[in-house]
Amino acid sequence: MVDSPVFDPYLIQGTTVLRNLAGIIDSAEFDAFESTSARLRMIEFFDSNPQVEPTLRGVRAIHYQLFQDVYDWAGQLRTINMGKGESLFLPLEFFSNGIEYFERTLKEDHYLQGLNRVQFIERLAMNFDNLNVLHPFREGNGRTQRLFWSVIARDAGWDIQWPQISAQENIDASVQALLHVNYQPLMALFDRCVSPLDRYSLVFSMLNHQPILDSGKQYATEISEDIRQRHSSRYIASSNSQSHRPTRRRKSRGR
């Protein structure tokens, strides 16, 4: 079945360009403006010796930092369901469960601190997927998430060299985790690019990695009802009163 497009209130009417504070309607001009604005705010972010709250509120603060010059909804959670093909990000009706699960899992993992390299890579892959499943924003998720995980890694004594991951590799590994709860591809990517922290490498890793960050601007609301129903059961909260986590997983910590 071909996905049915739905109304996207984030677009400028009659265009495929997102509403923006500059009022730009040309797609190429807007992409250049958005990329440049976010890059400048990224430099400002790292110049400030960033401290990030390890919660969704911290993720939202990073999104606002990056896109405050571009979107009037910078830092605000999306208000539409989003997917790409058969990859459906967390439906809005399950957001509260997904947010609680993301924050609790990261806290239980002690924000990835005190782990050896193998443990860090394993738990990073799983927590990375938890946030990616949320896909909290209409646009800017990739850049925001990578900044967030870079700071989390920094505080745990590790560096993530994002330039060693191509856009397609990132997409393919993320799809495996999202649809099949298979973390091995993400773990293989992180095994390639995680190293002990070098205080200079964090900044250059992010600034040199613009092309893969949000490589998929075609992510939108192209989801059909049958796909939505097929995947939404994965996010229904467990009836287990102790965990209350969505039925989609968590594998053994394997420590």
Per-residue pLDDT at 95 exceeds 70: yes
- 18: β partners: 11
Percent of all residues in the chain with a pLDDT value above 70, rounded to a whole number: 75
Q: Write the pLDDT tens digit of every residue in 100-122.
A: 999 999 999 999 999 999 999 99
Structure tokens at 59: 């993720």
Of 138, 142, 137, nearest to 166 (Cα)?
142
Of 219, 216, 133, 226, nearest to 177 (Cα)?
133
Yes or no: domain 27-235 corresponds to CATH 3.20.20.80: no
What are the sequence ranges of the domains in the chain? Answer: 27-235
Angstrom distance (rounded) from CA 189 to CA 166: 10
Residue listed under structure tokens 């360009």:
17
Angstrom distance (rounded) from CA 34 to CA 15: 16
Q: Residue 208: what pLDDT?
A: 54
Residue 89 phi, psi dihedral angles, 5° rounding = -75, 170
Q: Residue 60: what pLDDT?
A: 98
Entry pTM? 0.81
Residue listed under structure tokens 């699960």:
101
Identify the band that residue 207 occupies on the pLDDT scale cut at 50, 70 and 90: low
